[in-house]
């Protein structure tokens, strides 16, 4: 039995299979997920698990080169945006419109759906390399 990092088999498998430049999405419970993209549904009930809890766990295992967030997150959910930026440290952040963000999710290896109910609590993590 695995004893460190994410214990979720689906998330662990996706991260282990990612290469440089691959994208993994963490989304709120309302983010539309394209049918052709793998869905990892963690939503148990409203708010469980949170976007930030999920991002914190994934960030421990995935080498993140850069991220993409929607401009609307900064405007509509500025506290969550600030906390997310703090959690990311020096990782470069690109912002795009929410419509563009949704188009980009079609290229992701997977979308992790959380129970988050904060508007625009979504992020695309672009895989880097650790060497």
48 burial via Cβ count (<10 Å: 0-12, 13-18, 19+): middle
Which residues, 6 or more positions from 65, have their beta carbon under 8 angstroms from its beta carbon? 20, 21, 91, 92, 126, 127, 128, 129
Residue positions annotated with a catalytic role: 20
């Amino acid at each position: 039995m695995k004893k460190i990092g994410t214990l979720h088999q689906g998330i662990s498998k996706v991260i282990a299979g990612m290469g440089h430049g691959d994208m993994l999405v963490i989304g709120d419970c309302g983010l539309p997920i394209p049918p052709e993209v793998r869905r990892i549904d963690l939503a148990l009930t409203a708010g469980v698990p949170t976007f930030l809890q999920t991002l914190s766990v994934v960030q421990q295992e995935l080498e993140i080169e850069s991220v993409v967030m929607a401009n609307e997150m900064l405007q509509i959910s500025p506290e969550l945006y600030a906390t997310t930026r703090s959690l990311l440290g020096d990782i470069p952040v690109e912002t795009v419109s929410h419509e563009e963000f949704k188009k980009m999710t079609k290229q992701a290896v997977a979308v992790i759906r959380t129970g988050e109910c904060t508007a625009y609590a979504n992020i695309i993590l672009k895989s880097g390399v650790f060497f």
